[in-house]
Amino acid sequence: MLKFSDIKQVYFLGIGGLGMSALARYFASQGIAVSGYDRTSTALTAELEGEGIAVHYQDDPALLPANLDVSDSLIVYTPAVPATHQELNVLINRGFSIHKRAEVLGIICNSRRAIAVAGTHGKTSVSTMTAHILKSSSLGCAAFMGGISKNYHSNLLLDSTGSEWIVAEADEFDRSFLHLKPELAVITSMDADHLDIYGSHEKVIESFRLFARQIREGGALVLKKGLSLETDQVSSHRVYSYSIKETADFCAENIELKDGFYQFDLITPERRIAKLVLNYPGLLNVENAVAASALALLAGASDDDIRRALATYSGVKRRFDIHLNNENFVLIDDYAHHPEELRATIQSVRDIYRGKTLTGVFQPHLYSRTKDFAEGFAGSLDLLDEVVLLDIYPARELPMEGVSSDLIFNQIKNKNKVRCTKSELKKLAGSFKPGVVIMMGAGDIDTLVEPVKEQLLKWKND
């Protein structure tokens, strides 16, 4: 790879992804010319364009920047870009070295004191919470986050204080996180996922084991209690456990729900930090807060830093994101796209909105994930009172024979279930029962939130 000091231009293939756009913003902040391609225009790509980053939406080599030069231009791509992509192949044929996003992120983070947040779910919330705690403290930090922080309205935090710390979401997809060598790390979960990449759950766990071994000597791993990584064989760094359900090195006690938010005591290896208030709903976010607080404390944050930051944490877009809350409906948008994520989100909603009818709209993400976990998805969706199932969002995949949303739909035991298309959802939303509506998925279901909200606002009790 080019030395960063030699780079004059960076071109991104797939610039609109959350991880890619954070890198694009980082290089632009360094005064480097940044541009890129993405398949579709989104609110995020519009923001990038508004920040002076040129983006185009056709796979056309004629649209590549004219002054790209092998000697001073960095090309970054996401594995979601297919091998048949014309621009990708032209750049390869011209002799450009093409680098994965994860490789570039690793080079940036490994030059600092890095905090890496890994897990098949929970990592975006934990990394964003951790960054908010450190940013709110005298320690400061930079951060690459896998979601848009509502506190900072960005997926990138820059640091002007000279902080040594940098927080990064460590993505297990395509084993990306193996490019990171953090000082501190957390692993929130190791569920079977991305089996199109790994082949088996055992291989997923093995990849997390390799990630844990990359923690720097003298550093620390915070591991959710119950996850087995053979940490007794680790001698180069400390290992701590965390939990909200049982005793652990870092755990929550006296959890109370008050006015929709949770208050709890944080138990650490040295002391109790009493009556912390998390200004964000959901019991799953208390668990995330315990993990984030553990990382921040190990980095040197104070008890008061934890208290202030949790009380001012505003969350992440598309993570338990409340768009409507009136006398008839609560509308929540959530990124949940794995059976365990759906289950945790639905249970958190049950805890907060007891007695209310729960209607869930779910858009499966990827044919491979639907094929691998259809039964699990059906079981999680059965926790709802009303189920609306959309077609699969294919993302990077081509259709797979015999795989559709029907694989899930036919296993849902709840009789109150409907299959519909995206175009049909707005009309269907007009018949939703008053209560809580949860829209879940990692595809483009977020583009349907406003149309659904419009219908819910029209509801009248006839």
pLDDT at position 1 is: 67
pLDDT at position 192 is: 64
pLDDT tens digits, residue range 370-389? 999 999 999 999 999 999 99
Amino acid letter at 314?
Answer: S
**Res 25 pLDDT > 90:** yes
Reported residue count of the chain is 462
pLDDT band at 397 (very low <50, low <70, confident <90, very high): confident
pLDDT at position 315 is: 92
Q: Count how many Cα atoms sit within 13 Å of the Cα of residue 65 in the half-sphere of its side chain.
A: 21
26-30, 120-124, 437-441: least confident range: 120-124
Which residue is associated with the tokens 């098949």?
120
pLDDT at position 26 is: 96
Q: How far apart are CA 12 and CA 58, in angstroms?
A: 13
> Domain coordinates of the chain in residue numbers?
4-98, 110-312, 321-457
Report which of 348, 296, 376 is spatially closest to residue 117, judged by C-alpha positions.
Answer: 296
217 backbone dihedrals φ, ψ, rounded to 5°: -60, 130
pLDDT band at 461 (very low <50, low <70, confident <90, very high): low
In terms of average pLDDT, the best of 197-211, 274-288, 394-408, 410-424 is: 410-424
Q: How far apart are CA 88 and CA 397, in angstroms?
A: 18
pLDDT tens digits, residue range 85-125? 999 999 999 999 899 999 999 999 999 999 999 998 889 99
* DSSP 8-state code for residue 300: T
CATH 3.90.190.20 for domain 321-457, yes or no, is yes
What is the CATH number that goes with domain 4-98?
Answer: 3.40.50.720
Identical topology for domains 110-312 and 321-457: no
Report which of 68, 57, 56, 95 is spatially closest to residue 9, judged by C-alpha positions.
Answer: 68
**Res 197 pLDDT > 80:** no
pLDDT at position 41 is: 92
pLDDT at position 82 is: 87
Task: Tell me the three state secondary structure of residue 301.
Answer: coil
Angle at alpha carbon of residue 98, lines to 97 and 101, rounded to 5°: 140
Out of 3.40.1190.10, 3.40.50.720, 3.40.190.10, 3.90.1580.10, which CATH number does the structure's domain 110-312 have?
Answer: 3.40.1190.10
Q: What average pLDDT score do residues 298-313 get?
A: 97
pTM of the model: 0.86
**Res 322 pLDDT > 80:** yes
The pLDDT mean for the chain works out to 92
Percent of the chain whose predicted confidence (pLDDT) is above 90: 77
pLDDT band at 234 (very low <50, low <70, confident <90, very high): low
**Res 208 pLDDT > 70:** yes
Angle at alpha carbon of residue 452, lines to 381 and 325, rounded to 5°: 85
- Give every CB contact of residue 92 below 8 A, 6+ residues apart in sequence: 98
pLDDT band at 242 (very low <50, low <70, confident <90, very high): very high
pLDDT tens digits, residue range 126-181? 999 999 999 999 999 999 998 999 999 999 999 988 899 999 999 887 788 899 99
pLDDT at position 235 is: 61
Task: Tell me the three state secondary structure of residue 382.
Answer: coil
Structure tokens, 375? 């039964």
pLDDT at position 121 is: 84
